[in-house]
Amino acid sequence: MLPTPKKYFLTAAAAEGKSKLTAFDNALLKGRIGNINLIRVSSILPPEAGIDENLEIPPGSLVPTAYGSIISDVPGETISAAVAVGLSEDSFGVIMEFSGKCPKEKAEEIIKEMVREAFETREKPLKEIKVASVEHRVEKIGCALAAVPLWY
């Protein structure tokens, strides 16, 4: 059984690379999560998890992470990624992730609505929404990434 994470942070970054994979890797590095092993998780923030913007995760760690990313090799194309954490007053939170061919403002609008819907569906009051987003205009091969890594 895995322990329940107690800390998290939101990150969003964009980068270019010589290949799609290196563009993704470079975005991870810019987002401070390039030297860890991401374990992709779905959308629930544990009840007692607190935000830690200065969190440093040891290199090589296996890290539960909710993330969205988009890679494009169309020069001039605008790509964006966003994550949002919806917090309740006294219970767990909800994490949503989005990526698409749109400006950052549109990604933020979409991600906030996704969080609102998640809380409405769960019939839970929404206290606060935290968002991280990024926009990137592709030069050759670009990646936009937004993530919420969870840690112990």
pLDDT tens, residue by residue, 65-122: 999 999 999 999 999 999 999 999 889 999 999 999 999 999 999 999 999 999 999 9
Residue 28 counted as domain residue: yes
Catalytic residue among 19, 35, 37, 91: 37
**Confidence tier at 2 by pLDDT (50, 70, 90):** confident
Question: Is 43 designated active site?
Answer: yes
pLDDT for res 151 = 98
Q: How is residue 129 written in tokens?
A: 């929404």
- The number of domains in the chain is 1
Question: Is 35 designated active site?
Answer: no
> Residue 37, Cβ neighbours under 10 Å: how many?
11
Residue 2 counted as domain residue: no
Catalytic residue among 69, 80, 97, 108: 97
Residue 21: HSE in the Cβ half-sphere, 13 Å Cα cutoff: 0
Residue 110 counted as domain residue: yes
pLDDT for res 89 = 86
- CATH code, domain with 40: 3.50.20.10
Residue 143 counted as domain residue: yes
Question: Is 42 designated active site?
Answer: yes
Residue-number span of the structural domain to which 26 is assigned: 7-151
- Return the amino acid letter for 6: K
Whole-number mean pLDDT of the chain? 97
> For residues 82 and 39, what is the distance between their CA atoms, to the nearest angstrom?
18
Residue 1 counted as domain residue: no
Residue 42 counted as domain residue: yes
Quickly tell me which residue has 């923030």 as its tokens.
Answer: 45
